[in-house]
């Protein structure tokens, strides 16, 4: 006996030598004897021959990653003690599996220019100063200066005004207890 054998469809072959787009996929159809040997098609019935032997198909074209733009370098991020600043890419088109991948990394970093640190430095409190009295409430003082980090050089106060730390107080009230007269009892 003889019968038709149909293979699976081939992978899609794009037309015109293009790597993607519309194409054709085909399958082989041949006549076979009962002992599995191929024979001339004339041995099988034309009325039972399967059709079609080819069909339209489509191969997706690769989509490359496209970076639309990079964010700006934000130099205002370079504060005292910061080592660097970064920016990141905005991707407008993600790649397909066969497309060119996005550049790596999608974040760029560069060092900050040297930005000196300024801090408030406080001196020791003075003794409690009373005005015209030996005891009671008074005021004590201390020096509060702005210094540049690293070498502790005194600089103008405006350098520290943007600091996250508030300026420490340079004076406060104080109290010296008065001795009270005491009575001894037997």
The predicted structure's pLDDT at residue 117: 82
Task: Decide if 172 contacts 140 (C-beta within 8 A).
Answer: yes
Residue 44 burial class via C-beta count within 10 angstroms: exposed 0-12, middle 13-18, buried 19 and up: buried
The predicted structure's pLDDT at residue 151: 80
| Whole-angstrom distance, CA of residue 26 vs CA of residue 9 | 5
The predicted structure's pLDDT at residue 11: 93
Task: Decide if 20 contacts 61 (C-beta within 8 A).
Answer: yes
| Whole-angstrom distance, CA of residue 58 vs CA of residue 22 | 5
Provide the residue-wise pLDDT of the chain in tens; the chain has 186 residues.
999 999 999 999 999 988 889 999 999 999 999 999 999 999 999 999 988 788 999 998 999 999 888 888 877 777 776 778 889 999 999 998 788 998 888 898 888 877 778 889 999 999 999 988 888 899 999 999 999 877 889 999 888 886 567 889 999 999 998 887 555 566
Task: Decide if 123 contacts 144 (C-beta within 8 A).
Answer: yes
Task: Decide if 159 contacts 118 (C-beta within 8 A).
Answer: yes
The predicted structure's pLDDT at residue 97: 74
Q: Tell me the residue length of the chain.
A: 186
The predicted structure's pLDDT at residue 78: 74
| Whole-angstrom distance, CA of residue 20 vs CA of residue 58 | 7
């Amino acid at each position: 006996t003889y019968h038709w054998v149909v293979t699976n469809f081939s992978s899609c072959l794009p037309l015109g030598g293009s790597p993607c787009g519309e194409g054709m996929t085909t399958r082989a159809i041949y006549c076979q004897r009962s002992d599995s040997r191929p024979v001339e098609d004339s041995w099988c019935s034309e009325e039972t021959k399967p059709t079609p032997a080819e069909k339209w198909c489509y191969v997706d074209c690769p989509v490359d990653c496209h970076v639309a733009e990079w964010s700006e370098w934000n130099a205002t991020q370079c504060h005292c003690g910061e080592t660097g600043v970064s920016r990141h890419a905005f991707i407008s088109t993600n790649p397909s599996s066969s497309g060119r991948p996005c550049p790596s990394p999608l974040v760029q970093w560069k060092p900050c220019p040297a930005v000196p640190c300024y801090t408030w430095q406080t001196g020791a409190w003075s003794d409690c100063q009373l005005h015209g009295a030996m005891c009671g409430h008074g005021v004590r003082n201390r020096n509060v200066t702005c210094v540049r980090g690293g070498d502790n050089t005194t600089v103008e106060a405006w350098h520290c005004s943007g600091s996250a730390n508030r300026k420490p107080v340079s004076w406060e009230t104080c109290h010296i207890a008065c001795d009270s007269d005491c009575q001894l009892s037997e």
